[in-house]
Amino acid sequence: MLHMWEMPEPRQLAERNNTIPVILQAMARPMLAGLACGLAGLYAAFVGILVLMHGRVIIVDVLTLGQCVLLLLGLAAGAKSRTATATRAILPDLARGAVAGSVYGAALACGLALFQIAFLRTVLVSLSPELRRMLSFGLESGPAMVTLVVAGGALGVAGSLWSRLGGEQRRATLTAATAVIVAGTLQQLLQTVLQRFSFTKAIGDLLFSWAGLKWQGALLVGAVAAVVGSLWPIAKREFGARQPTLHALLSDNRSAFQLALLLLGLSVLPALAGPYIGQVLLMVALYTLMGMGLNIEVGLAGLLDLGFVAFFAVGAYATALLTADSSVALSAYTSIPALSFWLAVPIAVALSVIVGVLFGLPVLGVRGDYLAVATLGLGEIVRVIVLSDFAAPILNGAQGILQVPRPFVGSVELSSPVSLFYLTLVCSMFAAFVAWRLQASRLGRAWMALRDDEEVAQALGVNLVKAKLLAYGLGAAFAGLAGAIFATMLTSVYPNSFNLLLSINVLALIVIGGIGSIEGVIVGAILLVGLPELLREFGEYRFLFYGAALIAIMIMRPRGLWSTSRPSGAMPGGLR
Amino acid sequence: MRKDFAWFVRRGLLLCAILIVCAGIIGTVRADRYSTEQWFDLVAFGLTLGGVYALIALGYSMVYGVLRLINFAHGDTMTVGVFIAYFVARGLEHTKLFETSPAVAVAIILIVGAVVSALVALLVERFAYRPVRASGGFAPLITSIGMSFLLQQTCRGMFGSGVKAYPDPGWLQGSMRIGTFSVPNVEVMVLCAAALVMAGLYLVVNGTRMGTAMRATAEDPRAAVLMGIDINKVIAFTFLLGGLTAGVGGVLYALIYKQVYFMMGFLPGIKAFGAAVLGGIGSIPGAMAGGIILGLAEGIGPTLILDGLGIPAPYQLRDLFAFALLITVLICRPQGLFGEAPARRA
Residues A282-295: pLDDT tens digits?
888 899 999 999 98
A118 touches chain B (CB under 8 A): no
Domain assignment present for B126? yes
Q: How far is residue A199's CA from residue B128's CA, in Å, rounded to a whole number?
A: 48
Helices (H), B95-230: 97-100, 102-124, 130-133, 139-159, 170-173, 185-207, 209-219, 221-226
A525 touches chain B (CB under 8 A): no
Nearest to A48 among B7, B157, B277 (CB): B157
B260, β-bridge pairs: B164
A182 touches chain B (CB under 8 A): no
Longest CA pairwise span in chain B (Å): 68
Q: How far is residue B146's CA from residue B154's CA, in Å, rounded to a whole number?
A: 12
Q: How far is residue A352's CA from residue B316's CA, in Å, rounded to a whole number?
A: 25
Domain assignment present for B2? no
Is the ipTM above a cut-off of 0.95? no
Q: Are the beta carbons of A500 and B270 separated by less than 8 Å? A: yes
Extents of the domains making up chain A: 22-236, 286-498
Q: How far is residue A510's CA from residue A501's CA, in Å, rounded to a whole number?
A: 14
Q: Which helix H or strand E contains A223, and what residues bound it? A: helix A215-242
Q: Which helix H or strand E contains A469, and what residues bound it? A: helix A464-490
> Residue B139's domain is classified under what CATH number?
1.10.3470
Nearest to A390 among B137, B153, B312 (CB): B312
* Chain Cα centroid distance, residue A89: 41
Residues of chain B found within 8 Å of residue A551, distances taken between Cβ atoms: 128, 143, 146-147, 150
Is residue A137 very low, low, confident or very high in pLDDT (cuts 50, 70, 90)? confident
Nearest to A363 among B154, B157, B331 (CB): B331
Domain assignment present for B244? yes
Say if CB A278 and CB A456 are below 8 A apart.
no
Residue B162 has pLDDT above 50, yes or no: yes
> What sign has the CA pseudo-torsion A252, A254, A257, A259?
negative
Q: Are the beta carbons of B9 and A390 separated by less than 8 Å? A: no
Q: How far is CA B293 from CA A242, A266, B170, in A?
A: 74, 51, 30
**Residue A439: what pLDDT?**
84
**Torsion angle in degrees (nearest 10) through CA of A290, A296, A300, A306:** -60
**DSSP secondary structure of B155-166:** HHHHH-SSPEEP
Question: Which of the residues A361, A380, A470, A502 would you substitute to probe the B interface, choosing the one with the greatest number of B C-beta atoms within 10 Å?
Answer: A380
Q: How many residues does chain A have?
A: 576
Q: Which helix H or strand E contains B183, and what residues bound it? A: strand B181-184
Best CA proximity match to A48, nearest among A547, A540, A546, A548: A540
Q: How far is residue B302's CA from residue B34's CA, in Å, rounded to a whole number?
A: 13
Say if CB A282 and CB A489 are below 8 A apart.
yes
What is the DSSP code (8-state) at residue B281?
T
Residues of chain A found within 8 Å of residue B141, distances taken between Cβ atoms: 511, 572
Say if CB A521 and CB A259 are below 8 A apart.
no
Q: Are the beta carbons of A366 and B220 separated by less than 8 Å? A: no
Q: How far is residue A292's CA from residue A300's CA, in Å, rounded to a whole number?
A: 11
Mean pLDDT for chain A overall:
82
Compare all CA atoms of chain A with the CA of B140 and give the residue at the minimum distance.
Answer: A554
Domain assignment present for B70? yes
Helices (H), A243-329: 244-252, 254-273, 275-294, 309-323
- Among the listed ranges A286-290, A369-373, A476-480, B337-341, which one has the minimum average pLDDT value? B337-341
Q: How far does the CA of residue A398 sit from the closest CA of chain B (Å)?
A: 12
Domain assignment present for B196? yes
A121 touches chain B (CB under 8 A): no
The beta strands (E) that lie in A140-281 are given as none
Other Cβ atoms within 10 Å of B5 Cβ, number: 14
Residues of chain B found within 8 Å of residue A126, distances taken between Cβ atoms: 157-158
A554 touches chain B (CB under 8 A): yes
Q: How far is residue A53's CA from residue A49's CA, in Å, rounded to a whole number?
A: 6
Q: Are the beta carbons of A570 and B91 separated by less than 8 Å? A: no
- Amino acid identity of B338? F
Say if CB B129 and CB B69 are below 8 A apart.
yes
Domain assignment present for B210? yes
Residues of chain B found within 8 Å of residue A543, distances taken between Cβ atoms: 149, 152-153
Residue A173 has pLDDT above 60, yes or no: yes
Best CA proximity match to A180, nearest among A224, A231, A211: A224
Q: How far is CA B86 from CA A123, B124, B186, B246, B269, in A?
A: 10, 21, 17, 15, 19
Residues of chain B found within 8 Å of residue A506, distances taken between Cβ atoms: none
Q: Which of residues 47-106 of A touch B (CB under 8 A)?
A: 47-49
Residues of chain B found within 8 Å of residue A547, distances taken between Cβ atoms: 145-153
Q: Which of residues 442-501 of A touch B (CB under 8 A)?
A: 453-455, 465, 500
Q: Which of residues 272-291 of A touch B (CB under 8 A)?
A: none
**Residue A410: what pLDDT?**
73
> Residue A388: left (phi > 0), alpha (psi -120 to 50), or beta?
beta
Span A399-419, mean pLDDT? 79
The helix/strand/coil state of A553 is helix
Q: How far is residue A528's CA from residue A560's CA, in Å, rounded to a whole number?
A: 13
The share of chain A scoring above pLDDT 70, in percent, equals: 93
Q: How far is residue A219's CA from residue A373's CA, in Å, rounded to a whole number?
A: 53
- Among the listed ranges A313-322, A324-333, B277-286, B291-300, which one has the minimum average pLDDT value? A324-333
Nearest to B231 among A4, A380, A504 (CB): A4
Residues of chain B found within 8 Å of residue A558, distances taken between Cβ atoms: 132, 135-137, 139
Residues of chain A found within 8 Å of residue B131, distances taken between Cβ atoms: 555
Q: How far is residue A321's CA from residue A348's CA, in Å, rounded to a whole number?
A: 10
Residues B192-220: pLDDT tens digits?
888 898 889 989 988 899 999 998 888 88
Is residue A435 very low, low, confident or very high in pLDDT (cuts 50, 70, 90)? confident
- Amino acid identity of A1? M
Backbone angles phi, psi at B164, to 5 degrees: -100, 140
Q: How far is residue B62's CA from residue B54's CA, in Å, rounded to a whole number?
A: 12
Q: Say how many CB pairs under 8 Å bridge A and B.
A: 226
Residues A222-255: pLDDT tens digits?
888 888 888 888 888 888 888 778 777 777 777 7
Residue B311 has pLDDT above 50, yes or no: yes
The share of chain A scoring above pLDDT 90, in percent, equals: 8
Question: Which of the residues B9, B84, B153 would you substitute to probe the A interface, choosing the one with the greatest number of A C-beta atoms within 10 Å?
Answer: B153
Crossing angle of the two packed helices A518-525 and A417-439, in degrees rounded to 10: 150
The helix/strand/coil state of A58 is strand
Domain assignment present for B343? no
Say if CB B86 and CB B166 are below 8 A apart.
yes
Q: How far is residue A165's CA from residue A170's CA, in Å, rounded to a whole number?
A: 6
Crossing angle of the two packed helices A90-113 and A129-136, in degrees rounded to 10: 150
- Amino acid identity of A219? L
Beta-carbon contacts of A334 under 8 Å, excluding residues fewer than 6 positions away, are none
Best CA proximity match to A428, nearest among A490, A385, A478, A360: A478
Beta-carbon contacts of A170 under 8 Å, excluding residues fewer than 6 positions away, are A162, A163
Residues B214-257: pLDDT tens digits?
988 888 888 888 988 888 899 999 999 999 999 999 999 988 88
Q: How far is residue B280's CA from residue B64's CA, in Å, rounded to a whole number?
A: 11
- Amino acid identity of B261? Y
Q: How far is residue A117's CA from residue A128's CA, in Å, rounded to a whole number?
A: 13
What is the DSSP code (8-state) at residue A138?
T
**DSSP secondary structure of B270-339:** HHHHHHHHHH-TT-HHHHHHHHHHHHHHHHHHIIIIITTTT-S-GGGGHHHHHHHHHHHHHHH-TT-SSP
Q: How many domains does chain B have?
A: 1
Residues B114-142: pLDDT tens digits?
999 999 999 999 999 988 888 777 888 88
- The angle formed by the CA atoms of residues B286, B290 and B151, to the nearest 5 degrees, is 100
Q: How far is residue B62's CA from residue B113's CA, in Å, rounded to a whole number?
A: 19
Backbone angles phi, psi at B181, to 5 degrees: -95, 155
- Amino acid identity of A70? L
The helix/strand/coil state of A160 is helix
Domain assignment present for B339? no
The helix/strand/coil state of A364 is coil
Quick one: A416 exposed, middle or buried, by C-beta within 10 A (0-12, 13-18, 19+)? Answer: middle
Say if CB A391 and CB B317 are below 8 A apart.
no
**Torsion angle in degrees (nearest 10) through CA of B245, B251, B255, B259:** 140
> What sign has the CA pseudo-torsion B175, B176, B182, B183?
negative
Residue A570 has pLDDT above 70, yes or no: no
Is residue A493 very low, low, confident or very high in pLDDT (cuts 50, 70, 90)? confident
Q: How far is CA B180 from CA A343, A505, B175, B183, B192, in A?
A: 64, 51, 13, 10, 21
Backbone angles phi, psi at B175, to 5 degrees: -140, 165
Residues A37-93: pLDDT tens digits?
999 999 988 888 888 888 888 888 788 888 888 999 988 888 888 776 666 678 888
Other Cβ atoms within 10 Å of A563 Cβ, number: 19
